[in-house]
A and B are shown apart, each in its own frame.
Chain A
Amino acid sequence: MKILTANRLTDGIAVWYADGGWAETVGQADLAHDKAAEDRLEAIGAKAYADNEVVDVNLIDAEVVDGVVEPVRLREKIRAAGPTIRGDLGKQAERAA
């Protein structure tokens, strides 16, 4: 399965495509289960890039754990949570707050 991720142009914050917009957390990201869905997400990413909403757009591997979307690779897990050495920073801190 794939999800679409990028960084927001204005502040660089990591975002994921979910429910018609860019969410600041990964949990509800739109999942692509097949090639057609991947192509659809890619097209959305390309348009958002062209519209100067986001930069560094990528389709990444994801899985669903306990009903929540999670990236597969460590790099993407860290992007989704924040630095592993600073639990007080990034998405993980916002979740805890």
Chain B
Amino acid sequence: MYRYDEFDHDFVQARVAEFSDQVQRRLSGEITEDQFRPLRLMNGVYLQLHAYMLRIAVPYGTLNGKQLRMLGHIARKYDKGYGHFTTRQNIQFNWPALSDIPAILADLASVEMHAIQTSGNCIRNVTADHFAGAAADEVADPRPYAEILRQWSSVHPEFSFLPRKFKIAVTGAERDRAAIQTHDIGLHLKKNAAGELGFAVYVGGGQGRTPMVARKIRDFLPEADLLSYCTAILRVYNLYGRRDNKYKARIKILVHETGVEEITRQVEAEWQELKDAELKLPDADIRAIEAYFAPPALADRPEGDQAVKLARLDSKGFSEWLDQNVVTHRHPDYAAVTISLKGIGEVPGDASDSQMEAVADIAEKYAFDELRVSHEQNLILPHVARADLKAVYDALVDIGLATANSNLISDIISCPGLDYCALATARSIPIAQEISQRFASLERQREIGELKLKISGCINACGHHHVGHIGILGVEKKGSELYQVTLGGSADENTSVGEIIGRGFSSEEITDAIEQIVETYLGLRLNPQEKFIDAYRRVGPAPFKEALYAGETKAA
């Protein structure tokens, strides 16, 4: 994985020193909250309901054991023994004292981590496919490009005060696991007919109160032009993006209001001025960054087939976990493992200090010291020999992280909601917990099949409800929590925004409503292979509306 060079070390150390000084000046009263707020936000420090919150960057979701162990240490020493992995592949701590944050940042810097640009109107952490470098279906690892974008965007003077925050995602596979079409810029790494690497470029996706699917503005951008083209997009946005209204300030609104043809024309015109200048990436530089991401040397381990076969016979739990949480690796003797942070009735995305440390041990022992955070709030071991899968499973069972529910209805994305968040209008986590408990039976979940359920506790949509096959949005109505349901969203290569199905449900009703929707699907699907999203796209909302609301219409 990427290792800091001298520049990176100096940069992060300098930022720790700078922010530590700012914190001291704030605590001593030398600077006011109005002066301090933008400074703390640039360093990932928010104020939430109960305390400050610190959001730490996990660049493109990639971690090693030492880093995860440090996160566990921070959870124990400075927080309340746990952390929350987020939909942007980052981690948040919910209880740090402001006075401890300089020490936390110093600890993070010691393992090449930081919290820079995890907030504010700048280019945020660049996210990537969590199976990058391991997936059998990718043309190349997207992370070197994410790292190039990170270097370019870090304290970029021109793009540190954008109209609004800006999010970039990269995938290297046709099957999009990075939700690129819901990002301000989505990059799909691909090869052209000549076998050269480049990107399909999408612009203007986003969720929040105005969900939009990104539009493709270029089918193939040569890899050397990555920075000049992104600069062109950012310049057009920086110049014309709306600063008069916070709710209309994202690039999605600009793309929508200007029209995709005109935006494309503007970007291309800007790019003509930039493309042959200093932003052109020399091939040697790309290859040098790529070398940091060279995959581990994967020795052949052909004994894995037999080992897995025997272990399957021995353990039903292992067999189920293998079916659900283990995916094909580009090397036939290896697999990529999803460590579910969605135990039945648990808080989606939360991990305790000791779990983080134990997972770090597992990664070091069995997974070439590589870990990923997925945008679906799980952890990933991207390279595990099939021969070691049973040992990994047993180790995960010991720490309560062997739930075999990847991509099933209980693998829920949920924002922190009103239990923590100052912006939230309703709770999300208890709803996620109740739904996961209702569908606790793995047999039933597997019968239902792939179903992405996503919950947000306010219109800002951190829980990605717009792109859930089933989405739940919590709002406050007349002093109570009310949950609106959307159906038909998805965040893959066929991204769509879900449609509101009808009136909302109270917290007491919502789990029953979800069950009703699931039962309706089971009743109308053509066969067990027809997934929820495919069935919904075939039949539309009518049968679901009928099932949820028919009684009311008749009564009225």
A interface, CB within 8 angstroms of B:
7, 9-14, 49, 51-52, 55-56, 72-75, 78-79, 82-86, 89-90
Q: Is B9 part of the contact surface with A, judged by Cβ < 8 Å?
A: no
- A56 to B26: give the CA distance in the assembly, Å: 15
Determine if A11 and B97 form an interchain contact, defined as CB atoms under 8 angstroms apart. Answer: yes
List 29 A-B residue pairs with CB atoms under 8 Å apart, sorted by A's residue number.
Answer: A10-B27, A10-B98, A11-B51, A11-B52, A11-B97, A11-B98, A12-B98, A13-B51, A52-B27, A52-B32, A52-B33, A55-B33, A56-B47, A73-B479, A74-B479, A75-B49, A78-B49, A78-B427, A79-B50, A82-B50, A83-B50, A83-B420, A83-B429, A84-B430, A85-B419, A86-B347, A89-B80, A89-B95, A90-B50
Determine if B52 and A14 form an interchain contact, defined as CB atoms under 8 angstroms apart. Answer: no
Determine if A85 and B433 form an interchain contact, defined as CB atoms under 8 angstroms apart. Answer: yes
Q: Is B411 part of the contact surface with A, judged by Cβ < 8 Å?
A: no
Q: Is B99 part of the contact surface with A, judged by Cβ < 8 Å?
A: yes
B402 vs chain A, min Cβ distance (A): 22
- A79 to B424: give the CA distance in the assembly, Å: 12
Q: Is B412 part of the contact surface with A, judged by Cβ < 8 Å?
A: no
Task: Report chain B residues within 8 Å CB of A52.
Answer: 26-27, 29, 32-33
Task: Report chain B residues within 8 Å CB of A11.
Answer: 51-52, 97-99
- A79 to B48: give the CA distance in the assembly, Å: 9
- A90 to B96: give the CA distance in the assembly, Å: 13
Task: Report chain B residues within 8 Å CB of A74.
Answer: 418, 476, 479-481
Neighbour of A7 across the interface among B51, B96, B433, B479, CB < 8 A: B51
List the B residue with the shortest CB-CB distance to A50.
B32
- A90 to B94: give the CA distance in the assembly, Å: 11
Task: Report chain B residues within 8 Å CB of A86.
Answer: 347, 419
Determine if A85 and B98 form an interchain contact, defined as CB atoms under 8 angstroms apart. Answer: no
Question: Assuming A14-B49, A55-B47, what are 4 further A-B pairs, CB within 8 angstroms?
Answer: A7-B51, A10-B99, A12-B48, A12-B51
Task: Report chain A residues within 8 Å CB of B476.
Answer: 74
Task: Report chain A residues within 8 Å CB of B27.
Answer: 9-10, 52
Determine if A84 and B98 form an interchain contact, defined as CB atoms under 8 angstroms apart. Answer: no
- A14 to B96: give the CA distance in the assembly, Å: 13
Give 1 or 0 for each of B81-101: 1 = CB within 8 Å of chain A CB. Answer: 000000000000001111100
Task: Report chain A residues within 8 Å CB of B95.
Answer: 89
Determine if A13 and B479 form an interchain contact, defined as CB atoms under 8 angstroms apart. Answer: no
In residues 42-56 of chain B, which contact A (Cβ within 8 Å)?
A: 47-52
- A34 to B97: give the CA distance in the assembly, Å: 35
Determine if B51 and A85 form an interchain contact, defined as CB atoms under 8 angstroms apart. Answer: no
- A75 to B80: give the CA distance in the assembly, Å: 21
In residues 40-86 of chain B, which contact A (Cβ within 8 Å)?
A: 47-52, 80
Determine if A85 and B429 form an interchain contact, defined as CB atoms under 8 angstroms apart. Answer: yes
Task: Report chain B residues within 8 Å CB of A9.
Answer: 26-27, 33, 98
Determine if B47 and A78 form an interchain contact, defined as CB atoms under 8 angstroms apart. Answer: no
Task: Report chain A residues within 8 Å CB of B49.
Answer: 14, 75, 78-79
- A61 to B144: give the CA distance in the assembly, Å: 52
Determine if A14 and B50 form an interchain contact, defined as CB atoms under 8 angstroms apart. Answer: yes
- A2 to B354: give the CA distance in the assembly, Å: 43
Determine if B29 and A51 form an interchain contact, defined as CB atoms under 8 angstroms apart. Answer: yes
Give 1 or 0 for each of B313-351: 1 = CB within 8 Å of chain A CB. Answer: 000000000000000000000000000000000010000
Known contacts A10-B27, A49-B33, A51-B29; is-contact A75 B50 (Cβ 8 Å): no
Task: Report chain B residues within 8 Å CB of A82.
Answer: 50
Task: Report chain A residues within 8 Å CB of B433.
Answer: 85
- A52 to B23: give the CA distance in the assembly, Å: 12
Task: Report chain B residues within 8 Å CB of A75.
Answer: 49, 418, 424
Known contacts A84-B430, A85-B429; is-contact A13 B50 (Cβ 8 Å): yes
Neighbour of B430 across the interface among A12, A55, A85, CB < 8 A: A85
A84 vs chain B, min Cβ distance (A): 6
- A48 to B272: give the CA distance in the assembly, Å: 55
- A85 to B436: give the CA distance in the assembly, Å: 14
Counting from the closest, the 4 A-B pairs by CB-CB distance are A11-B97, A12-B52, A83-B419, A12-B51
- A89 to B430: give the CA distance in the assembly, Å: 15
Task: Report chain A residues within 8 Å CB of B479.
Answer: 72-74
Task: Report chain B residues within 8 Å CB of A73.
Answer: 479
Task: Report chain A residues within 8 Å CB of B480.
Answer: 74
- A68 to B97: give the CA distance in the assembly, Å: 28
Give 1 or 0 for each of B185-225: 1 = CB within 8 Å of chain A CB. Answer: 00000000000000000000000000000000000000000
